[in-house]
Structure 1
Amino acid sequence: MTEAASPPAANPAGRRRGLTIIAIAAALAAAGWGGWHWFHGRHRQTTDNAYVAGNVVQITPQVGGTVIAILADDNDAVKAGQPLVKLDTADAQVALDQAEAQLAQTVREVRALYSGNETLKAQVALREADFARAQADLAKAQDDVNRRGPLVASGAVGKEEFQHATAQLAAAKSAVTAAQSATLAAKEQLATARVMTEGTSVEQHPNVQRAVARVREAALALKRDELPAPIDGHVAKRSVQLGQRVQAGAPLMTVVDLDKLWVDANFKEGQLADLRIGQPAELVADVYGTKVSYHGKVAGLGAGTGSAFSLLPAQNATGNWIKIVQRVPVRVALDPAELAAHPLRVGLSMEVTVDTADRNGKTLADAPRAQAVAATGVYSAIDREVDERIRRIVRGSLSLH
């Protein structure tokens, strides 16, 4: 029986060399990681609890009505001012016709007030002339009585003649009193009429303005039977159907502006110490993966945690308590050019990494916003159309002779 071959003797020098190489590699890796972390990594705050957000505009009617046309569907691109839904206009058109007829009638009535003032002025002048004539007759009658009075005793003037002159004097006095009263009454009528017209023109008269308001109300109700898109965007979540009777304020569809999106990143409270407004951020969307990266800036830090504004906030003062790390929403503005090159959708998941090396910024905005967050001129165009319609009616009624 032969003896088994013994194993080869180990090489201590080779083992030490291998271990040394491994140790050096580990040391270099640790030094490299430490250097990266010191100069770069420790200034990065990352979260994958981040989602795309944007302006989600609900299309709601301002007046009730029956839907007769739907002009946009889900995923359609729309422009500001483009009609989206039309309601039945029959009732609104009748109300507008009635209001316009009432406006025209009111303008004519107010014109009659101004014309009546001239008539009343002529009446005052006539009454003043009558009063002056009555005063002259009174003076003449008084002179006749004064002349005949001394002659009655001598018989030069008969008693009957003197009585006749006295009667004429009494009648003249009554005529003066009546003329004076008629003059005062005419002046009071003129003053009363002037109260209705002084300090204003036909166009600015309260009665006309009241009728104008009714026309504007009816015209706006008619115009509002057509629902325009307030912004450029894409239609989502259409729920309206033909023939549906809708009430004012009921949501019919949604328009989303996909060109002006941002990201709400929910950082843990322990990550907020170094976050500042204006710090650069790098973002990755799950929909595109790591092959597409977005760049943005921190636009603002939330004024409270998400749980503080939830529908049912936590009541930590009751029952057993377990500490839960809170998160604060941080808004990150996206680069418009990158967003146009790689479009996103509201609600998509994102991974956000913020470089906090520069901490000179602020954690809270220190000045009011200088411009509106969003604005549209769609509805002001409706107002201009209504004003022009009213001006045509008023001018047409004033030009009549």
Structure 2
Amino acid sequence: MADNQPDIMETKPDRRKQQPVENADRRADSSVEKRPSLVRRHPFWILSGIVVLAALIVGAWFGWKIYFYPYESTDDAFVAARSFSVAAKVSGYVAEVPVTDNQHVAAGDVILRIEPRDYQIALDQANGQVEVAKAAVDSAGAQIEAANASVDVARAQQNSAAAALQYAQQESARQQQLVKSGSGSVQAVQQAASTLQQDQASLAQMQANVTSALKNKTVAEAQKSSALASLKQAEAQAEEAQQNLSYTTITAAQPGRVVRLTGAKGQYIDAGQAISTFVPDEIWITANFKETQLTDMRPGQPVELTIDAYPDHKLHGKVASVQPGSGTAFSLLPAENATGNYVKVTQRVPVKIVVDKWPADVAIGPGMSVVPTVTVRPRN
């Protein structure tokens, strides 16, 4: 017990020395915790710095976009093409449809056939009418030749009658001179006068025959003209029948795809009825840029394109042309801005973009969304 007491007394002074140190540390920590932060001490300057920094960032971004950014892009862009409806020009029952939906066809490929029997019969009838008209023309030509021969015969007879009449006149005058001189007889004078009258009547008849022959020739020529007109009409009908027969086979006028095919074998279709929609191979991009994006846009500038349906296919092209006017100006009902409550709205202008090479492993057609990016200024 005596040995332990000095040890206890020795430890007590140490604890008293440690307590003031611990209290000093606690007072220091409390003073640090009570000291306000930098934000609380300078809130105005901190907020002002943040605002200035944000303004610099926004200004730098706008400056980059306006003065240094060399691209213009829009998501208001679509694939365009001059699609049209394929319609039948003649009516009839469908005999064959050798294509199917969305099939690619070349120029001249058959899309649909209509039963041609009725139109073949009409063509045969028209060709028969042509042969009849040709025969009528030949007959009229033969009548003209016969009329020419009749005219020649009548004129020859007229010349002969005129010569006979001249001789009869001379003979009558000679017999009258003989009677006056006492050398002739009254009978001879009377006979010469009778012959003169007969020859005069014969000449008049021959002149009438010439006139009749000429009129017959005129009639024959008129008949030939009529026959020629009938021949032209028959040939026109034959050509029409031939065209109608050719219209029974509907072919592709240019390469493209057959879309929304409605014709089916055995179906009766009327003339003018649409059987499908045709999308030509020639397609392009119509991008509707804002008018404020056209400041530096010119034809020939390079374009990078991304198709929404196939984002892994990166396409390249160039600006072909810029439409001289906004899209609304050429719409069916253009906007009328002459009102008192007019509000200015940024217009969009269609820009035609042609693609260097379309991908062949995917189907691309009108209406598909595209995102074009035009390099409007050279890159630095």
Letter in 1 for 2:209: A
Q: Report the Cα offset of residue 346 of structure 1.
A: 1.9
SS at match of 1:249: coil
What is the alpha-carbon distance in structure 1 between the residues aligned to residue 58 and residue 327 of structure 2? 38
What is the alpha-carbon distance in structure 2 between the residues aligned to residue 342 and residue 240 of structure 1? 26
Match of residue 93 from structure 2: 66
Match of residue 334 from structure 1: 355
Q: 2:364 aligns with which of 323, 326, 344?
A: 344
Q: Report the Cα offset of residue 89 of structure 1.
A: 2.7
SS at match of 2:75: strand
Match of residue 283 from structure 2: 261
Write out aligned runs for 1:1-400 (5 A).
6=29, 41=69, 43-152=70-179, 157-190=184-217, 193=220, 206-257=229-280, 259-289=281-311, 291-318=312-339, 320-336=341-357, 338-340=358-360, 343-357=363-377
**Contact 2:88/2:270 (<8 A) preserved:** yes
Aligned positions, number: 339
**Contact 2:136/2:224 (<8 A) preserved:** no
The Cα offsets for residues 113-138 of structure 1, whole Å up to 9 and x where unpaired, read as: 33333322222221121112111221
Larger Rg: 2
Q: Report the Cα offset of residue 231 of structure 1.
A: 1.6
Among all aligned residue pairs of Structure 1 and Structure 2, give the percentage whose two residues are the same amino acid.
33
Q: 1:265 to 1:312 in 2, by over 3 A?
A: same
Q: TM-score, normalised by structure 1?
A: 0.72
Match of residue 16 from structure 2: none
The Cα offsets for residues 302-325 of structure 1, whole Å up to 9 and x where unpaired, read as: 233222222333333357444332
SS at match of 1:137: helix
What is the alpha-carbon distance in structure 2 between the residues aligned to residue 243 and residue 133 of structure 1? 79
What is the alpha-carbon distance in structure 2 between the residues aligned to residue 84 and residue 343 of structure 1? 20
Structure 2 alignment gaps of length 5 or more: 1-18, 39-49
Q: TM-score, normalised by structure 2?
A: 0.76
What is the alpha-carbon distance in structure 2 between the residues aligned to residue 357 and residue 64 of structure 1? 57
What is the alpha-carbon distance in structure 1 between the residues aligned to residue 327 and residue 269 of structure 2? 34
The structure with the greater share of residues assigned to helix is 2
Q: 1:248 to 1:195 in 2, by over 3 A?
A: same
Residue range with higher mean Cα deviation, 50-59 or 216-225: 50-59
Q: Report the Cα offset of residue 87 of structure 1.
A: 2.2
What is the alpha-carbon distance in structure 2 between the residues aligned to residue 161 and residue 102 of structure 1? 67
Q: 1:196 to 1:63 in 2, by over 3 A?
A: same
Letter in 1 for 2:211: L
Residue range with higher mean Cα deviation, 55-64 or 276-285: 55-64
SS at match of 1:209: helix
The Cα offsets for residues 324-368 of structure 1, whole Å up to 9 and x where unpaired, read as: 3221110100012x433655222111101111116xxxxxxxxxx
What is the alpha-carbon distance in structure 2 between the residues aligned to residue 322 and residue 242 of structure 1? 57
